[in-house]
Structure 1
Amino acid sequence: MTATTDHHAHPQHAQGTPPNRRTRYRVTGMDCGSCAAKVETALGRVQGVQAVHVSVPGGTVTVTHEPSVATDSLVRPMRALGYGVGPGETVEAAGQQPATHGGCCAHGHGHGHGHGHGQEPGHGHSHPDTHSHDHGGHDHHHAPVEGAWWRGPKARLVIASGAALALAYAVGLAVPAAEAWAFPLAMLVGLVPTAKRAWAAARTGTPFSIETLMTVAAVGAVVIGATEEAAMVVFLFLVGELLEGVAAGRARSGIRGLTRLVPDTALVERDGRPPEAVPAAALAVGTVILVRPGDRVAGDGVILSGESALDEAPVTGESVPRRKGEGDAVFAGTINGDGVLRVRVTAAARNNTIARVVRLVEEAQESKAPTERFINRFSRVYTPAVVALAALVALLPPLALGGSWDEWIYKGLAILLIGCPCALVISTPAAIAAGLSNGARRGLLLKGGAALETLARITTVAFDKTGTLTGGKPVVTDVVAFAGQEMGGEAAVLGLAAALETGSSHPLATAILAAAAGRGVTVPAATDMAALAGKGVAGRVGGRAVTLASPQAAAGILAGDGVALAPEQVDRIAALNAEGKTVSVLLADGRPAGLLALRDELRPDAAAGIAALREVGIGAVMVTGDNARAAETVARTLGIAAHAELLPEDKQRIVRELQARGERVAKVGDGINDAPALAAADVGIAMGGGTDVALDTADAAALHGRVGDVPAMVALSRRTMSNIRQNIAVALGLKAVFLVTTVIGVTGLWPAILADTGATVLVTANALRLLSARP
């Protein structure tokens, strides 16, 4: 469960006084919805506490409080309720922006290479490497360890209670008259710790806790002579609590398991000495580590030397290893394949990719979904109403109808046990936590239950083009060798162009060099290189004067020599331009020798992703700042409408217009120039969410950077909401059935306790199915 309380009795700090603090505690033993409610209420009564966020799935309690509040004042109430509490971790101060660490070096390259290549693709995106926010750093090694379930205090109490119950049965068989005291004594073994927790909860503002209801029911059963049932019900209650704990532990282990992906040690190179093993948690930004074949990468970084295939499935869910070499980024927790890599660390342990994902998912688990908020409000009315009903059932028939006191008190006690809302309250957050964990392990990062719930209802997705539907960088699509030139064909044209671009970092130059390398073209050496301002680049290659320029610049150069492009050459250029491609013309010795066409190509899965959305009844539209010709080409290929040449505020306006027509809109972009539209949309999704801006701006992030991740998110959301509906039906359905059967005398105390703890275990187990579901 995620519980939140805000206390406005304490005024905001005056200017100049210290801001409120946020402290997160790892808390063990919180297994159901009532646990969160008790902790929330207890801490909410502490003077100086402003807000409390409880996540049962995450096993965390985050308290916003005044600086003067002592740690013991926060820890004592939780321990009094029977929970284990780990050391507090400071989160960013309330109302302040978290500190940004610049050690991860944003690599936004400016391209000043003066190609006048005509209409270039709109590459306005700067994708920094993975630097992150410092939220105080969650050192998961310092969290309280819950250990094996059979070694915990709940298991020991179940064993003691079970042994006492078995002994009571043995005594009763040997000496029947001894049952009158044997079963009450056996009951006390489990009831005394339960009653203590009930008293602590009542003192801290939760009088209708499950422990209170259990204590009243057990004592009442003894009073009316149902001693054997009283002892058995206490034992079953403890067994149910143990099962709840096992299920809850399984649920929260899904995301925490990510932290174990990072190795404990790393091989560090220092001053030319042999590599030395050091703790991975101590890696500093700038440290150079050696990653051998088969090793897990110990930290986020950039490859200095070496080439290898890296298995990124543990981090992104990508099943196919990616080949990476010098200059490429690597992530902590990924597995090195066949090569030795030297990697410069770009993020401290607390800020690496896995730590950020874990932190963001944990924070997401602390935010409530609309359904969860409704269930919490309902439960606050439900339990007192059932307690009142139990009192009426116990008192009204004997008083008004002359019924048997023992019979109707027994039924009232059974209804009392049915009254705990644990299963109902945990039904929503358990499913949401499992859904969030499932998504995080597959590179689908959703920042809260509200985003997960809203995604199930979206009707339209508005996509950015560059870097979202397309790869974000140009690639060579066509190489044409003009007839009548002794050039040697397309390979020679590409080789000469690559010779002129050698050493340039301009996106178009990089694309040409990559095409030459990909096609195995030998790149000759160029001399006398010169940039032609606003036109292109020129030089000498193999004794020939060679120029690579835009069609307009090439026409101007040729006109100076009294030469013109042939009509068929002009037509070919026009046809390529009509396809949204950027064309460069290669001149050799003052004559047209060939041309190259480049375009920011669609992502490989773009068409399939749009089709997958269409199959589930969701429309798609493109909103881009790129030129209309390029946008229309992409939109026509995908079969969607396009809005081009938009400013950021125009994208936001279109999102608002769609919403005004009744559409629920998800906006997908890179989180930078799409920020206003991401904020305006019902759900904002950042593509390639490894950047800080993407993670901060959007409600969700597709860490793969794939279009197919969007329908996968929708599928996960819809599956989660279906799971929630199933859970609510089980929780309320079981209670309704047992309520009726108890009143008519078919069931008694034993089934009543199963209606509570059994339903809680069922809904938690049902939610756990989401951990392994593949969207």
Structure 2
Amino acid sequence: MKEYKLQGLSCANCAAEMESEIKKLDHGGDAQLKFNSSKLLVHEKVNLSKVRQILKSDGASLVETNEHGENGHHGHNHSHGSNMKMLVFLSSVIFGLTFLLQNYVSSYVLIVMYVAAMTLSGYQTFIKGAKNLVKLKFNIDTLMTIALIGAVAIGEWREATIVAILFGLNEYLEGLGMEKARNSMEQLLKVAPKQATLLLEDGSERVVPIESLQEKDLVLVKAGEKIPSDGIVMEGSSSVNESAITGESLPVEKTAGEDLYGGSINNEGLLKVKVTRAYEDSSLAKILHLVEEAQEMKTPTELFINRFAKYYTPAIMLISLLVMTVPPVVFSMDWGAALYQGLAVLIVGCPCALILSSPIAIVSGITKNARNGILVKGGVFLEQLGKVESIAFDKTGTLTKGEPTVQTARIYDPERFYSIAGSIEKSSSHPIAKAVMAEVNTKNSELREPSAVEAIPGKGIYAEIDHNPYYIGSEQTISHLNLSKEQQKDIEELKEEGYTLVIVSSSEEILGLFGIADEIREESKSLIKDLHLAGIKHTIMLTGDHDKTARKVAEEIGLTDVYAGLLPEQKVEQVKRLSEGSKLAMVGDGINDAPALATADLGIAMGKGTDSAIETADIVLMQDHLGKLPSSIKIAKQVNRVVKLNISLALGLKLVALLLTIPGWLTLWVAILSDMGATILVTLISLTVLMNKTKKTSFVKEEEKEVQPQS
């Protein structure tokens, strides 16, 4: 399949018809004409001349793009829009002159001027409509052509000219609105770098296209340049702007050994980077692919509108016919007046505003979320996000950091407690041992080398230090000791509070104990509060941890429901049950979350989680936290409100115009104004999704306060 960029594509209905025509060509069966992104995918063997003819019949044309999107991804040809604007302007000038000269020239001269004005702004529509009329294919161009012919036939030259000018203006504004949404999306896609400086084995440098980069290649990234693909810093240090990937505005300091996202910007310094993923497998390439695919996925609302439009246009034609024939036959109305009213009804029936009520808003919502580092994989998922009432979270790595830390300690022998704990655990790579060492390192205790270390399966570790035996581990390591009432009380209290206990003891007494828990993320509490403010009714934790630990976390951050001790398959069953009551989104980051993400109405993964969770999820948060989830929900809800309002306006204005036929007040120019007014309103309201700033979450505000003194 070969990809082409289209220009002059402004009508979704026309795009669907052109796709249908192209599919009838030899090798055209798999053709895809993507209206939202203005692209055409066709087989390489398809007859391009015939494709161009089909496109030309509707005022569109194609421009071949290279693999990286030049002359395609990164720029539109606006000549079609500019031409239409100029033609409408000239038509309006000529029409204005008819008013000034109407008392000074003959009616024949005025008719010539009307025809000139009509031709300039309406000839493309007329030609397309005439061809459709011959084929008995009825769309907006056909309706407008019939209306123009009818108006001229009954001598309404001025009315016919107004219709042509206003329809031309309507087409221009319609295309301009969709182009604005497309351009906003293309600005997002411009983050992709085009070239990279490759370091060769002999130490020389060569500038190469990023598509040629392979895993383990070494590249140089200078200050101000974009990181060409995902990689790891081998030499150098710098601050890196990752906003294009994660949506976070604050730069991140990077030194040797740290990971980099392709598409992020090196702010200062020289970095030597080892590529860890070929460009096509990089985070950036996946983001761009997901965003582009998302534009074309139809929502249930869009699919309904498209089905509705198929029946709507023929119904309008039938109503128009009835308006033309019934009043003269039944009520002895003048045939000319009835014909005039029927033509006005045809114009009112234009479905443009209705068809545009959804795509501009959807593309705008996907774009705005992508700018914030939130990848919505399709309009259907954006619509679903706006309807979600309940959100279920995995605990570890999502609401918590996924790293055990010492939260509290009970110390009975201050001189030996930290020293013995550190001496035993310093060589261990176990996550709990690392948590203990992180706490010990804050105390500057003297560490010694054990003369013997032995693991006790299921219990802990035995060690000899200075010829004395010591133990560190669970309660089972102290089963041989007699505990005081205070020590027993401390152990029970910490267990009741949900902590994992690590007890340090000698052969004779307890030296102290650590209370360890997974550290709660800083933003979790404010996140849950913001989600409730955004309209989420139920915030639920699904975790494999034991009940007391889970409830402690839930109470601290304000969750409404907790389900603990769940295996991965039990999480799936719980998600199924919760989905029965309301729209449920599931948030997770691990491989064990993938089944639950796939089962929920909506799966949301954190971008620094596993590939399986990201692939399975419907929405991906590229940050390593959930701080921007409330804003993405607000954007989705705004898009849903906008689409509903647009549909109401599109149908409401047409209904009002149709009701004007009853007293006979509907004129051609009122009809076209009602249609154009609906289209303009729908377009402008849809673009407010891009313009409006969503309120920042509490976490983001706190971040800004923290960094303010440094700026």
Category of TM-score, reference length = shorter chain = 0.7 to 0.9
User: Is 1:613–1:619's contact at 8 Å kept on the other side of the alignment?
Assistant: no
Alignment partner of 1:581 is 2:512: no
CA drift at 1:544 = 8.6
Q: Which amino acid aligns with 1:424?
A: L
Contact kept in structure 1, 2:246 and 2:372, CA below 8 Å: yes
CA distance in 2, matches of 1:325, 1:544: 43
Question: CA offsets per residue over residues 84-108 of structure 1, 9 Å max, x none?
Answer: 224489xxxxxxxxxxxxxxxxxxx
- Does structure 1 residue 655 correspond to structure 2 residue 575? yes
Kept in 2: contact 1:547–1:588 (CA 8 A): yes
Q: Which residue of 1 aligns with 2:151?
A: 221
Please say if 1:27 is aligned against 2:6. Answer: yes
Partner of 1:601: 519
Matched to 2:385, the amino acid is L
Are 1:194 and 2:194 an aligned pair? no
Match of 2:473 among 550, 555, 567: 550
Structure 2 vs 1, CA of residues 726 and 554 (structure 1 numbering), >3 Å: closer, same or farther?
Answer: same
Selected match of 2:182 from 217, 235, 252: 252
Q: How far 1:769 sits from its partner (Å)?
A: 0.8
Partner of 2:631: 712
8 Å CA contact 1:671–1:698 kept in 2: the answer is no
Q: CA deviation at 1:248?
A: 0.8
| 1:344 Cα offset (Å) | 2.0
In 2, the alpha carbon distance for the partners of 1:141 and 1:537 equals 66
Moved more, 458-467 or 625-634: 625-634
Matches within 5 A, 1:702-741: 702-741=621-660
Q: Deviations over 1:411-435 (max 9, x none)?
A: 2222211111010111022222221
Q: Do the aligned partners of residues 550 and 245 (structure 1) sit closer, same or farther apart at CA in structure 2, a change above 3 Å counting?
A: same
Note the aligned Cα RMSD (angstroms): 3.7
Aligned to 1:77: 54
Alignment of 1:470-481 (within 5 A): 470-478=400-408, 481=411
The answer for the alignment partner of 1:363 in structure 2 is 293
Structure 1: how far apart are the matches of 2:611 and 2:675?
Answer: 44
Which sits farther off after the overlay, 189-198 or 67-76? 67-76
Q: Equivalent of 1:486, from 415, 436, 442? A: 415
Q: Tell me the residue number matched to 1:610.
A: 528
Contact map agreement 1:265 1:279 (CA 8 A) in 2: yes
Aligned counterpart, 1:500: 427
Q: Which residue of 1 aligns with 2:596?
A: 677
Q: Which amino acid aligns with 2:517?
A: R
1:571-614: per-residue Cα shift (whole Å, max 9, x none)? 54444344333333456899755544432222222222223333
Report the counterpart of residue 566 of structure 2 in structure 1: 646
CA distance in structure 2 between the partners assigned to 1:720 and 1:246 by the alignment: 19
Residue of structure 2 equivalent to 1:95: none
Aligned match of 1:182: 113
Q: 2-side partners of 1:201 and 1:524: how far apart?
A: 88
> Is the CA contact 1:474–1:507 (under 8 Å) kept in the aligned structure 2?
yes
Cα 1:341–1:609 change in 2 (3 A) is: same
Is 2:686 the counterpart of 1:767?
yes
Which structure 2 residues correspond to residues 189-338 of structure 1 after superposition, within 5 A?
189-199=120-130, 207-271=137-201, 273=203, 277-337=207-267
1:89-108 equivalent positions in 2, closer than 5 A = none
1:71-94 deviations in Å (ceiling 9; x for gaps):
6666653344332224489xxxxx
Q: Is the 8 A contact 1:411 1:743 kept in 2?
A: no
Whether the aligned pair in 2 keeps the contact of 1:25 and 1:87 (CA below 8 Å) is yes
Per mean C-alpha deviation after superposition, the further-off stretch among 508-517 and 29-38 is 508-517
Distance 1:308 1:756, change over 3 A: same
Contact 2:453 2:464 in 1 (8 A): no
What's the secondary structure of 2:401's corresponding residue?
A: strand
Give the Å deviation of 1:731.
0.8
CA distance in 2, matches of 1:545, 1:82: 90
For each residue in 1:285-341, what CA deviation from the matched residue of structure 2 results, as whole angstroms up to 9, or x when unmatched?
322333445544332222334444433333222244334444332223333445543
Structure 1, unaligned runs of 5 or more: 1-21, 90-136
Q: Quickly say closer, same or farther: Cα 1:200–1:440, change in 2 above 3 A.
A: farther
Q: Who is 2:700 aligned against?
A: none
In structure 2, the partner of 1:631 is: 550
Q: Deviations over 1:126-148 (max 9, x none)?
A: xxxxxxxxxxx874654484244
Question: Paired residue for 1:10?
Answer: none
* Separation (CA, whole Å) in 1 of partners of 2:56 and 2:212: 32
1:215-265 deviation digits (Å, cap 9, x = unpaired): 222222222222233233222222221111211111112222122223444
Give the secondary structure class of the aligned counterpart of 1:85.
strand
What count of residue pairs does the alignment treat as equivalent? 690
Q: Per the alignment, do residues 192 and 605 of structure 1 end up closer, same or farther by CA in structure 2, a change over 3 Å counting? A: same
Greater mean alpha carbon deviation, residues 630-639 or residues 381-390? 630-639
When residues 630 and 43 of structure 1 are mapped into structure 2, their CA distance, relative to the original with a 3 A threshold, is farther
Change (3 A) 1:636 1:267: same
> Match for residue 363 of structure 2?
433
Once the two structures are aligned, what percentage of the paired residues are identical? 34
Provide the C-alpha distance between the structure 2 equivalents of 1:618 and 1:355, rounded to a whole number of angstroms: 36
Q: Which has the higher contact order (CA 8 A, sep 6+)?
A: 1
Opposite residue 183 of structure 1, the aligned amino acid is Y
CA distance in 1, matches of 2:136, 2:567: 54
Separation of aligned partners in 2, 1:241 and 1:78: 16
| 2:702 alignment counterpart | none
Whole-Å Cα distance in 2 between the matches of residues 344 and 157 of structure 1? Answer: 55
Identify if the C-alpha distance between structure 1 residues 580 and 738 changes in structure 2 by more than 3 Å, giving closer, same or farther. same
Q: Residue 18 of structure 2 aligns with which residue?
A: 39
Amino acid at match of 1:41: S
Matched residues in 1 for 2:221 and 2:506: separation? 47
Task: Report if the CA contact (8 A) 1:494-1:521 is conserved.
Answer: no
Whether the 8 Å CA contact 1:500–1:537 is kept in 2: the answer is: no
Q: TM-score, normalised by structure 1?
A: 0.78
Equivalent position amino acid for 2:320 in 1 = A
Question: Are 2:505 and 2:512, in contact at CA under 8 Å, matched by a contact in 1?
Answer: yes
Q: Deviations over 1:667-723 (max 9, x none)?
A: 222363233322322222223366432232122222224344443333222211111
The AA in structure 1 aligned to 2:36 is P
**2:36 aligned partner:** 57
- Take 1:361 and 1:700, find their aligned partners in 2: how far apart are those partners? 11
> Does the 8 Å CA contact 1:499/1:525 hold for their aligned counterparts?
no
Contact 1:458 1:663 in 2 (8 A): yes
Contact 1:498/1:516 (8 A) holds in 2: no
In 1, Cα distance between equivalents of 2:239 and 2:501: 34
CA-CA distance at 1:565 after TM superposition? 6.7
| 1:728 CA drift (Å) | 1.0
The answer on 1:397 being equivalent to 2:327 is yes
Q: Does 1:620 align with 2:539?
A: yes
Aligned equivalents of 1:426 and 1:38: distance in 2? 16
Matched residue SS, 1:658? helix
Instruction: Give the corresponding residue for 1:16.
Output: none
- On the 8 A contact 1:587/1:593 being kept in 2, the answer is yes
Amino acid aligned to 2:604: I
**SS at the partner of 1:381?**
helix
Change (3 A) 1:227 1:248: same
Indicate the residue corresponding to 1:379 in structure 2. Answer: 309
Instruction: Report the Cα distance in structure 1 between the residues aligned to 2:215 and 2:438, rounded to whole angstroms.
Output: 30
Distance in 1 between residues matched to 2:393 and 2:161, nearest whole Å: 62
CA positional deviation for 1:732: 1.2
Counterpart check, 1:354 vs 2:333: no
Q: Which amino acid aligns with 1:721?
A: N
CA-CA distance at 1:763 after TM superposition: 0.6
